Amino acid sequence: MRFLTRCAALTIFFSSPLFATPLIDQLIGATNQFLEQEVQEHIARTGQPGRYEIKLNRLDARLRLPLCPEEQLSAELESPNIPVGRVTVRLTCNSDSPWRLFVPGQVSLYQQVLVSARPLSRDTVLSASDLTLQERDTSLLRDKYLVEPEQAIGMRLTRPVAPDTIVTFAIIAQNEVIRRGDKVVISASNGSVSVKMPGEAMEDGAVGAQIRVRNTRSNREIKARVSAAGQVRVDM
């Protein structure tokens, strides 16, 4: 619960005309001040800079509630659990004439996200030239989006995309450099001794993934980690 010591004078956007009254001014100021503080803290926690806009739904000027002493007015985020997107703020007056009111609104958060720089086909292995950053309203994004090119470089697209498509984890996958049935070289070492054996991949794998391989000399199946195309490594 956050107690409000003053009501900030900030730019507000409304869905329809509003006739101001002292009570409406207090409700708007308190809600907006609370949301601004919450959004700033959210941005600081995530470490991703951005700008934001707060739009509150129209409040009925016919609302009849006593003005609340500022030191007894508090605000809490009713929903959701982060102050982005469609939000509802619960205002509570703890004076001798107590009341509670719910104020809905919309918080738009504009941040730099990773997008495709040009049309790209399915199975494209992404490089730096395929990607760029653009500002988007992240409050509208459902899938987990990426904010750094390094998060996507070397990954494979799972579907074709148009220019300026937001890159999310839903449309990329690890680039599998080994396919089931591929001939591979199995390397094993313990620091002083290193051996190499021929093998066959029993499943697909990206660099860093652990897959099943068959030693074609002994016909034994083992687990090995993909180190490069056609190369796997076993720790001894």
Tens-place pLDDT, residues 100-146? 999 999 999 999 999 999 999 999 999 999 999 999 999 999 889 99
pLDDT at 7 over 70: no
98 or 3, greater pLDDT: 98
Q: How many helices (H) and strands (E) does the chain have?
A: 1, 16
pLDDT at 9 over 70: no
Mean pLDDT value of segment 173-202: 91
User: What global pTM score does this model have?
Assistant: 0.70
Q: Which sign, positive or negative, has the C-alpha torsion 123, 115, 48, 53? A: negative
State how far the alpha carbon of 127 is from the alpha carbons of 175, 186, 230, in Å: 12, 28, 21
pLDDT value at position 1? 55
The values of phi and psi at residue 138, to 5°, are -75, -10
pLDDT value at position 53? 97
Mean pLDDT value of segment 230-234: 94
